[in-house]
Structure formats: C-alpha cells, structure tokens
Structure 1
Amino acid sequence: MSKHQSSSRPGVVRGQRPLSTHRRVAHGVYVERPAPGVRDDPRCRLIDDLRALLLVLPPGATFTHVTAAAVLGWSLPKLPDVPPVFASVGDRDPRPRRPGLICSRLRRSHLHEEVLPASVRGAPVPVDHPAEILLRAARDLGTIDLVILADSARRLGHVTEESIRPVLESGRPGVRQLKRAWELSDPRAESPGETLLRLLHHVAGASVTPQVELYDEGRFLGRVDLLLDGAPSAHEYDGGGHRGEAQHRRDLRRERLLQRKVDRRGYVLDDLLNRPHAVLDDIDRALQRKPDPAREAAWRRLVDNSMYGAGYGRVIQRWRRLGGFDDWSGTRSTSVAKRGLVTKPDQ
C-alpha cells in the first residue's frame, strides 16, 4: 500500500468496473463507492480521484497547479466547477493522456525533499514543492489569481522568501508573472475577498495595514481587515459568512464599537468587480484627495486579465487545448462535478 493511500478510504482500481459499485474517474480508472458511514464530502472525493489517477501516472509524479493548491488547503481564485487535474512528471517520463488530466514535464533538480514543510510532506497524495505549484499556476493565471494563491500559501507557512528564491531566480516560464504576484502578496490576508480588496487599494495608491487590532482605552474593539494608513478609516470584505441572522447581529454590535475609533466600510465581491468606483470614492474621501479615473481603469485591466474577468475564457480555452475536460454526463452528479476545487471569495 502506498504511503499516500489509507485503508479507511475506498479502493482505487485500474480496469473496467460496474458503475453500481464503482465511480468512474477517467478512462479505465475507478474508485469504489464508499461504504455507508464512510466520509464522502467533496474534499474526500477529490483525494480519492487523485489517488485513482496515480494509477496511470509514472512513479514519482506529483500533483501541481490549482490541484495541489486544493489538496494543501490553499484559498483558490474563481475556477470552473470541474477544472482539469494538473500533474507534473519527470522530464524523461511519459505523459498519460486522459480527458481532464494535464501533465507537465518539469525540471526540479534545484529543489530537495528535505526543504518541504512537514505539512506538505504529509499530504494525502503527492504534491509538488509549493514554490513549483505557484510557478506552474503562473503560466496560466493572472496577477490577482496568483496573489490569492500566494497569500494563502504564505499564511499557511508552505512558502517562504527563502524557499521561493531559487524559483524566482531560475528564469523559467512564468517567473516574471510570479515575481509580480509574490511582491504583492501578504500572509496576513485571511480570504480571497480580502486579497481582492487589498489589491484594489494598492492599485489606488492607498497604503493599508491588514489585520489591525483596535482598542479604546485598553478595551479591545475588534480586528479590521484593512486600516488605511494616515486616515481613521477601516475597509473590510463582507463575505457570505456575514449574511446569517446571528452573524449579522454580531456584526452590527462590532460595527458600533468600531465607530468609536474608525469609519468602517464593508464591501462585497460585486463592489470590487463591478462597482470599483464606489470603493475608490470611499478611499479618496478618507484620504482627502481628488478622484482619478486612471485608478479605476488600472483596476479594471487587472480584473480583466484574471479569472474574474475576460481572462477566464482565455484560460479555459487553453486548458481545453492542453487536456480537455471530463464529460461523463451520466455520472457527473456523483463524480468529477463534486471534486470540490472551487473556493468562492465570499465564503
């Protein structure tokens, strides 16, 4: 049994199996349907699918890109419901062809197993070095998308300045894009929405400090997502977790406390993507400066080049050319459509 395979999980097999007892992952690759009482949430199904795909990958293959990011628990940018599975193999290894599986031959001789964080070495399936995961993603994704990944990887301690330096100095494809994203990343971000909000402030030329704890005469008032430097103004991302009735009551009480120290403004994803002028107006008023249409134009260009804008269509077409997507319409509801790789920014 592989070190990445647990006896408590459903078995994976190569060859034809009846759909009554097995779930089809790809051509000739199946996962046993879990027994009653066995955990079967989207993350478990993702791991089971990847364990099955290891049967057709060469020895030493690892998962990379957004696939590995999902395995490691990183926050993800906007993705299709069923993104491809990304794997990396040695430069002399064969690349198996399966719909929805994209294999890359990558040279990783400058990276060594011992520098991997323990949490990465203990992943349920083999994943690439976190710095390589980011580099592989940089060949497809835009700056916003990469910063979301980098923020999360840094927050979890999977990537550091030291560990990513060999990759940034390698001159390989994607390095230029990754360098820009790395410079913009911040480990203090706690969600993709916070990352988007911080980047909008960066484009607007407004310096902010993330995750600031506020006190009033020694009494803790709360911690705000972003505090504008030089202005008593706090800007926060209000995601889906703030919509429940009980949470809404807590938010109102918190907001009343914060008003003693700062002017608190909350934003949702629609504000950041479709109504950035409203956020920029609040920034300009807080900093007592004149509006500049160039700031909004710069932000819209950044969004347009990401998975939140026109970049989404370009990336999807590229992925289709490289490996296509699974199209098992008869089993979609119970297999790949529930891999759980999508993490929406408002959650």
Structure 2
Amino acid sequence: MPSNRYATTEFFGPFIGSRVVSEGDLTRSQLRSGPYNRLFQDVYAPMGIPLDHELRCKTAILVVPDGAVLTGCSAATVRGFPFSLENDPVEFVVPEARGFHSLRGTHLRRTRLLGRDFVPWRDGLIATPLRITMDILTDTRLRRSFPRVVGLLDTLLRAGFIDGEALKVYLEHRHDNGIVRARQALAFSDERAESIPESEVRVWLRLHEIEAEPQVEVYRGTRFLGRLDLAIREAKVAVEYDGAWHLEGEQPRLDARRRAMIEAEGWEFVVITKEELYADPRAMVRRVKAAVASRI
C-alpha cells in the first residue's frame, strides 16, 4: 500500500509521475484520478497552483535533456517580465554537441553555449540576462516580428535588466544564427519607450524611414501640457497607441482633454489602435506618412 507521505496537500510543486509511483507515494490510479494537472508527459502539478507560464517553466525543467538551459521569453518571464502567455512553448537552448528528443510544449534549439551563458536554477539551468536577451533577439523560428523583439528589448533596457553597451559587447564577436538581426534590434532600441506596442509602432515607422522620438514633453511656456508617445517634431505630428485601457473609466475624457490642449499648440495626432497595429501595420505607416506630408 502506498504511504501517505505525499498526501495531496503535501505536493507543493511540480513532480515526475513515474518517480512518485515507483517510490510508492501514489498509485497510477491515484495519479490519473487525483487532483493533479498534467503539464508535460509524466510531469504533474497539484491543482490549485496557478497555471501560468512560470509554472510550465518549473515543470519543463524536470524533463528536458541534461544541459538544456531555460532562456528567451520563458526565462524573462520567470525573471519578472511576463513576455510569455500560459501556453506558449517553453524555450530552451541545448549545447551543440548534445542530442535531444523533442518534447511537446517546449521549443528546443541547439546552439553554442559557454559557461558564462547560464547559472543554476531549481533542478536545471537558466540563461544569464545577456544570454536571455540574445536568444529573444536571434530566435526567428518563433516568428516574432522584428518590431516585437525590439519592443521586448526596450522593456529589458528600461528596467535595467541589461545594459545596452554590455549587450553590444556581448553580441560583437558572436556568429550565432540570427546574430545580424540581434545587432540590428539593438541599433533600433530606445529605453525611453514605455510599452511594447509603442516600441512596435516606432520601429514600423523607422523601417519606412519615418523617425519618431519617444516620450516627448509638450509645454505652453512653462506649463506642462502632456507627454507624447511618439513625436515627429519637424512636422509636429504626434503618434500615439491607444490600448484597451484607454477606453476605460475616465481615460477617454483625460486623453481628449490632453490632446485638445496640445493640438492648440499646433500638433496633429494620429491615434493607432491595437487592431491597426497588428492587423495592418503598413496601413498605419501610410496614415502617418500622409499626416507628415500634409504638414511639411
């Protein structure tokens, strides 16, 4: 008879199902029918633990190949930057010399790894901040757009998670797949950006030869009127991204009041919605170009 040493309330985190069965802590029937969520093959967690991406990272680390390193947006998420959604694949890199088997729900990439690239974490390894950032920027297989990865980089720079000069040195002599894109992303980055979508808008514009400066303050004399997400100063065109929160509560009224005061100083606003940014960014660019052309 299995012991009661691991009663339901005594499981505080992920565990390998076959191990607890072999040790007599649960029967297979208890494992299948008990209050446990199976997150990966043979890996479970007690119900009641929030099913978020961080839990999936803690679970996946138990079953990935030896030497695998948690990295990319997954590692950033466990370090406090919620870049990954719950069911996004958990990202790992594995040393070039090691073979590995695919694991459903993960994204494993073979690459060159140095000892300075990772540190111990839980039952495995996690990438250092510079390595996390490089893998976010270089991994094209996950189909993140170039503006998106620049937005993620802006967030890490703004928070002080990494230093831009240190990242430049780190990338300088590497030859990893995607390293050219990583260097270009660093050249496009700006830690003044206050949101990922704002960064994405700025990068889309720059890719089409429109330079927009982030977080520009507007004054009437000495009176502060407001801060613009993005500004094209020579045309006095302000480009702002309105996410869902701009439609809540008092925010629409506050936005309208601020914009009216700034428009009185000769500025024109182009307001970008989530649907426009992600469904048709080129139409967004054309709209901004038209606004600029009409004022120069």
Alignment correspondent of 1:48: 55
Alignment correspondent of 1:88: 93
SS in 2 for 1:111: helix
Equivalent residue runs for 1:96-115 within 5 Å: 96-109=101-114, 111=116
Taking CA–CA contacts closer than 8 Å with sequence separation of 6 or more, which of the two structures ends up with the larger relative contact order? 1
Structure 2, unmatched stretches of 5+, are: 1-9, 19-30
Structure 1, unmatched stretches of 5+, are: 1-7, 289-347
**1:174 and 2:178 correspond:** yes
Alignment correspondent of 1:203: 207
State the TM-score, normalizing by the size of structure 1. Answer: 0.67
Task: Assess if the C-alpha contact under 8 Å between 2:112 and 2:176 holds in 1.
Answer: no
Alpha-carbon offset, residue 14 of structure 1: 0.3
> Aligned pairs, how many?
265
Q: Please list the CA deviations of residues 146-195 of structure 1 after superposition, one character each: whole Å capped at 9, or x if unmatched.
A: 21221122112222233222224212211111111211111111222211
Distance 1:176 1:199, change over 3 A: same
Larger radius of gyration: 2
Alignment correspondent of 1:249: 253
Task: Assess if the C-alpha contact under 8 Å between 2:111 and 2:176 holds in 1.
Answer: no
**1:162 and 2:171 correspond:** no
Task: Assess if the C-alpha contact under 8 Å between 2:150 and 2:185 holds in 1.
Answer: yes
Q: Paired residue for 1:214, among 202, 218, 235?
A: 218
Alpha-carbon offset, residue 127 of structure 1: 3.2
**Which structure: greater strand fraction?**
2
Alignment correspondent of 2:152: 149
Q: Which amino acid letter does the alignment assign opposite residue 94 of structure 2?
A: V
Alpha-carbon offset, residue 218 of structure 1: 1.7
Alignment correspondent of 1:233: 237
- Structure-2 separation of matches of 1:211 and 1:194: 10
Task: Assess if the C-alpha contact under 8 Å between 1:23 and 1:33 holds in 2.
Answer: yes
Alignment correspondent of 2:46: 32
Distance 1:266 1:19, change over 3 A: farther
Alignment correspondent of 1:283: 292
Alpha-carbon offset, residue 58 of structure 1: 5.0
Q: Please list the CA deviations of residues 215-268 of structure 1 after superposition, one character each: whole Å capped at 9, or x if unmatched.
A: 222222111111113232211111111011321122122222222332233111
- Structure-1 separation of matches of 2:37 and 2:86: 18
Distance 1:14 1:128, change over 3 A: same
- Structure-2 separation of matches of 1:239 and 1:188: 18
- Structure-1 separation of matches of 2:54 and 2:197: 26
Task: Assess if the C-alpha contact under 8 Å between 1:206 and 1:283 holds in 2.
Answer: no
SS in 1 for 2:216: strand
Q: What is the root-mean-square deviation of aligned Cα atoms in Å?
A: 3.1
Task: Assess if the C-alpha contact under 8 Å between 1:188 and 1:210 holds in 2.
Answer: yes
SS in 2 for 1:18: helix
Task: Assess if the C-alpha contact under 8 Å between 2:36 and 2:44 holds in 1.
Answer: yes
Q: Which amino acid letter does the alignment assign opposite residue 18 of structure 1?
A: R
- % identical equivalent positions: 25
Task: Assess if the C-alpha contact under 8 Å between 1:88 and 1:106 holds in 2.
Answer: yes
Alignment correspondent of 1:139: 139
- Structure-1 separation of matches of 2:56 and 2:117: 27
Distance 1:9 1:218, change over 3 A: farther
Alignment correspondent of 2:198: 194
Single out whichever of 49-58 and 186-195 deviates more from structure 2.
49-58
State the TM-score, normalizing by the size of structure 2. Answer: 0.77
- Structure-1 separation of matches of 2:201 and 2:117: 36
SS in 1 for 2:32: coil
